[in-house]
């Protein structure tokens, strides 16, 4: 059949199973927008800023495991995707971004809205393309989806000049497998690697599993749990690994790292074996590398060979799909008990519980920790939560235990403020039957709050919880600890969020005391449209524990127990 390049784009998206795309039109991508009228099977969501399109595609991908799609025009439309592309790259989220480009004859002439988007995004995409021949367009899009979803997932960008979109050819969909020279994602461990890993597991007396985002992406939660239970190995989670194992499981110790549970960090430091599964030893997880888990042997399983021995030297490195490798390993793992080690970890957990802010008298103040804890309580701990970045993000990780995979979506690697609201919208499109909460701070929310209009125009139901402390809270916390309380550029003026929501036609409520939280959840659930709840919280709340940047992982700043003297 005779199709234009723009129609080929839509035909290929349809055949890739795309049901929704997030974008914003403009001159260089207009032929593809016109072609959308012939493909009503694919819903287009009109964002208010292209950054929102990338985050929505990312949220959709994280919630579903499918490839998310963002589309934008050339020049500023394309560059506005960059932050979202970088976010997806750092967190291995599979998205495909399609951008328009000026006609081929104008490339290099500084034409109106011309930008070298493939050059700009080269370091932050898994791969990218500038399509100069319409005959290559269909196969390029197939390749883009294949690369985005296979191996270590990530973002791929396809830049298409306007005249390529307009050109007509006789179209035949390219069937058959995708074959890319040099692209062979590893899958399984060899016999020697398995034997070496098994020997370390059998010898260990104080083992710890470090479960990361790779467990979720590989669908390996059941295998992780079986390994933990069979060998009685406690499990610690990265921020992006939350949900890999139910957090109410007796062998799940919680989140590790800078703001992780003290018991996790102590266990890692005292372990004699670390089994790292689908995680990359990020600096927020390790603290000072020179003193990181100094007496442990280390096994590292990751789909990306470049991550093995990159940050932490290991004894057994296995480049492979973590679910496949665990399936190979499990039949040979013996049943074991580590009663003394488990008891020690329980003691650390009890000490941490005694320091919990929920044990303190609130004296009429509303703490962010209370808000998150009660959101967990009144949603039954079963919502999909999507956060921005900052104190509220860490409080969510600490006070909203997740029992299911893909129920916490957050920007971990890049730490992108403004991610929460648009990613929550994307997640809701991916999981329309789930209860979705965007948990955001007053700072990050204002970066992308224009997407309130998108939520209303598209009729999508997201519950928005703004934790408003009138500060850039995490930066303020660092200023308190390390800059002698010089609060430069962190106090924040905000609009009246309730009135703002009402201007968009969004039901809204302000909460100033803890006894209103249950009512607020019921209020959010009583409406079929997006709802905004503003929680006015204590301005100078501290997120504990905290490992200062570059400090030893066990050298945490900790909240004193009630009656104890504050740490200096």
The pLDDT tens digits for 28-54 are 999 999 999 999 999 999 999 999 999
Q: Give catalytic status of residue 269 as yes or no.
A: no
449 is catalytic: no
Residue 568: per-residue pLDDT: 52
Catalytic residue among 7, 11, 50, 435: 50
Q: In what order do the strands lie in the sheet with 297-302?
A: 252-255, 235-237, 207-211, 273-277, 297-302, 316-319
255 is catalytic: no
pLDDT tens for residues 221-255? 999 999 999 999 999 999 999 999 999 999 999 99
Which is the catalytic residue, given 56, 89, 101, 162? 162
Q: Report d(CA 206, CA 203) in Å as an integer.
A: 9
- Work out the mean pLDDT of the chain and round it to a whole number: 97
> Can you spell out the DSSP letters for 271-295?
-SEEEEES----HHHHSSGGGSSTT
Q: What is the pLDDT of residue 257?
A: 97
Specify whether the CB–CB gap between 166 and 100 falls below 8 A. Answer: no
Q: Tell me the two tokens of residue 442.
A: 């007053």
CATH 3.40.640.10 fits 360-536, yes or no: no
Percent of residues, the chain, with pLDDT higher than 90: 97
Each domain of the chain, given as residue ranges in start order, spans 2-170, 191-350, 360-536
| 112 is an active site residue | yes
**What would the pLDDT profile of 73-128 be if each residue is shown by its tens digit?**
999 999 999 999 999 999 999 999 999 999 999 999 999 999 999 999 999 999 99
DSSP secondary structure code for residue 105 in this structure? G
Query: What is the per-residue DSSP string for 67-103?
Result: PEEEEE-STHHHHTTHHHHHHHHHTT--EEEEEEE--
Q: What is the DSSP letter of 22?
A: E
Write down the pLDDT at residue 395.
Answer: 98
Choose the catalytic residue: 10, 36, 447, 474.
474
Q: Which of 38, 112, 168, 502 is catalytic?
A: 112
CATH topology of domain 191-350: Rossmann fold (3.40.50)
The C-alpha atoms of residue 72 and residue 61 are separated, in whole angstroms, by 18
Task: Please check whether the two domains, 191-350 and 360-536, share a CATH topology.
Answer: yes
pLDDT over 90 (residue 567): no
431 tagged catalytic: no
pLDDT at residue number 421: 98
Annotated catalytic residue: which of 113, 232, 344, 403?
113
> In which band, very low, low, confident or very high, does the pLDDT at 566 lie, cut at 50, 70 and 90?
low
399-425 confidence digits (pLDDT tens): 999 999 999 999 999 999 999 999 999
Q: Is the dihedral of CA 559, 560, 565, 568 positive or negative?
A: negative
**Run of H or E residues at 164:** helix 162-166
> Please, which pLDDT band fits residue 363 given cuts at 50, 70 and 90?
confident
Tell me which CATH code domain 2-170 carries. 3.40.50.970
User: pLDDT tens for residues 289-306?
Assistant: 999 999 999 999 999 999
């Amino acid at each position: 059949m005779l199709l234009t390049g723009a129609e080929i784009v839509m035909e290929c998206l349809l055949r890739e199973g795309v049901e929704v795309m997030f974008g914003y039109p403009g001159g260089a991508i207009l032929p593809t927008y016109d072609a959308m009228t012939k493909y009503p099977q694919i819903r287009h969501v009109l964002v208010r800023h292209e950054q929102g399109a990338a985050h929505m595609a990312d949220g959709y991908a994280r919630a579903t495991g499918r490839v998310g799609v963002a589309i934008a025009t050339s020049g500023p439309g394309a560059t506005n995707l960059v932050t979202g592309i970088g976010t997806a790259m750092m967190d291995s989220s599979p998205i495909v971004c399609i951008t328009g480009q000026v006609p081929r004859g104008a490339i290099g002439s500084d034409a109106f809205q011309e930008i070298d988007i493939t050059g700009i995004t080269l370091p932050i995409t898994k791969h990218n393309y500038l399509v100069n021949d319409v005959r290559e367009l269909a196969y390029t899009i197939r390749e883009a989806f294949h690369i985005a979803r296979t191996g270590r997932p990530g973002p791929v960008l396809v830049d298409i000049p306007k005249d390529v979109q307009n050109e007509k050819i006789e179209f035949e969909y390219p069937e058959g497998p995708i074959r890319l020279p040099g692209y062979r994602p590893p899958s399984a461990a060899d016999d020697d690697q398995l034997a070496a890993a098994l020997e370390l597991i059998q010898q260990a007396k104080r083992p710890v599993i470090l479960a990361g985002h790779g467990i979720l992406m590989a669908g390996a939660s059941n295998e992780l749990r079986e390994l933990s239970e069979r060998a009685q190995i406690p499990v610690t989670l990265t921020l992006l690994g939350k949900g890999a194992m139910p957090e109410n499981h007796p062998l799940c110790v919680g989140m590790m790292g800078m703001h992780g549970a003290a018991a996790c960090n102590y266990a890692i430091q005292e372990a004699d074996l670390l089994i790292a599964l689908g995680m990359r030893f990020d600096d927020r997880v390790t603290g000072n590398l020179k003193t990181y888990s100094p007496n442990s042997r280390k096994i590292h399983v990751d789909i990306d060979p470049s991550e093995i021995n990159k940050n932490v030297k290991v004894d057994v490195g296995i480049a492979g799909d973590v679910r496949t490798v665990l399936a190979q390993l499990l039949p040979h793992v013996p049943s074991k008990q580590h009663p003394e080690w488990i008891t020690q970890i329980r003691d650390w957990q009890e000490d941490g519980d005694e320091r919990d802010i929920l044990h303190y008298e609130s004296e009429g103040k509303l703490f962010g920790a209370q808000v998150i804890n009660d959101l967990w309580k009144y949603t039954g701990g079963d919502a999909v939560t999507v956060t921005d970045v900052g104190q509220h993000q860490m409080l969510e990780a600490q006070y909203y235990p997740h029992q299911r995979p893909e129920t916490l979506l957050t920007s971990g690697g890049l730490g992108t403020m403004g991610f929460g609201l648009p990613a929550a919208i994307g997640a809701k499109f991916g999981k329309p039957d789930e209860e979705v909460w965007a948990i955001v701070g007053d700072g990050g929310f204002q970066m992308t709050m224009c997407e309130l209009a998108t939520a209303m125009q598209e009729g999508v139901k997201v519950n928005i919880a703004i934790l408003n402390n009138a500060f850039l809270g995490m930066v303020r916390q660092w200023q308190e600890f390390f800059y002698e309380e010089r609060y430069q550029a962190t106090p924040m003026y905000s609009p009246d969020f309730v009135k703002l929501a009402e201007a968009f036609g969004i039901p809204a409520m302000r909460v100033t005391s803890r006894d209103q939280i249950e009512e607020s959840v019921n209020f959010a659930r009583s409406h079929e449209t997006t709802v905004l709840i503003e929680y006015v919280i204590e301005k100078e709340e501290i997120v504990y524990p905290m490992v200062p940047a570059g400090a030893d992982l066990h050298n945490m700043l900790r909240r004193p127990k009630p009656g104890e003297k504050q740490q200096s």
